[in-house]
Amino acid sequence: VKPRNEEKMLTECGVVEEPDLATRVFGGRFARPGQYPWMALLNVGFLYSNKVETYRCGGSLISNRHVLTAAHCVREVRAKLNSVTIRLGVYNLVKHNPWEKIYDICLKDVIVHHQYDPKSLTGNDISVIRLPEQITFMEHIRPICLPFNNVMDNYEDEGLFVFAAGWGRTEPYSNGRLSDVLKVSNETLLSKRTCCEKIGVNYFNTDTELCTTYNFHGGVTCQGDSGGPLMKIKGHTPYSTKAFVIGITAREPPSKSENPKRSCATGSPSIYTDVSAYLDWILEIIEE
């Protein structure tokens, strides 16, 4: 059964120019201003022993009042969530644009999946954040499409081109510099069978996760990209192209690097929450 507002959501969402296949995230190139108008930047504060530490995550605008992100961005084992600020319509973090929106989020409006366990390695790493007001869509602030219309029917066909975006680290070390400008990577979606073979059955959940390998060299998600979208570009009609959020940047496989400070760029696949597995849960929240 189609949700009652699916047709309306599909008319408003995912409108983009065709992405440039040469761009990517880690060690890669910048996205174009306004290329991904659903990108949200989350600044999240956690309270550790009376000290607040702030972390960066990504997110995706999916309606006029909801942002999709990873649960681990807003839920910690050893710390209490203290604050969440969301920036929409942003491209270069050090430059303010007149269309940019900044929201301080009430913590009660941070909705983490009820089965998420931060101590677990797999599954349910998804959260929806409710904005304090409905926003008006404009050129630089528009939603991405949820994976309606059987977008993921062919996910077992290896070789599908997909894209990830974020303001994460630009160097493959835990102390690497975070990017001030939005970057985008082109990646290849792997079948879930291949994901299990490359990552390990104990570290990958075939029911709720996706994995990718990066194309060319560089181009991989890293710290600070968590919560951002894995996107699939698909022709919605003969006259339009739509972007769909099919995954949420979740985590890296165990590092095989000999350097304990080295992460990202290990040659291992990137792991994403499979949004299609949670579509009903997301729609229940949106339609409340």
Catalytic positions: 72, 125, 226
Which of 88, 53, 62 lies closest to 245 in space, CA to CA? 62
Residues 6+ away with beta carbon under 8 Å from 26: 168, 169, 170, 171, 172, 183, 185, 218, 219, 220, 221, 222, 264, 265
CB 27 within 8 A of CB 184: no
By three-state DSSP, how is residue 11 classified? helix
d(CA 57, CA 251): 12
Write out the two tokens for 144.
């991405």
Residues 6+ away with beta carbon under 8 Å from 196: 204, 206
Q: How far is CA 239 from CA 2, 145, 242, in A?
A: 23, 17, 10
d(CA 212, CA 222): 13
d(CA 32, CA 175): 26
Q: How far is CA 54 from CA 35, 49, 82, 209, in A?
A: 27, 14, 9, 27
Question: Parallel, antiparallel, or unpaired: how do β-strands 51-61 and 66-69 relate?
Answer: antiparallel
CB 168 within 8 A of CB 181: no
38 CA to centre of own chain: 10
Q: Encode 26-71 in three state secondary structure.
A: CCCCECCCCCCCCEEEEEEEEEECCEEEEEEEEEEECCCCEEEECH
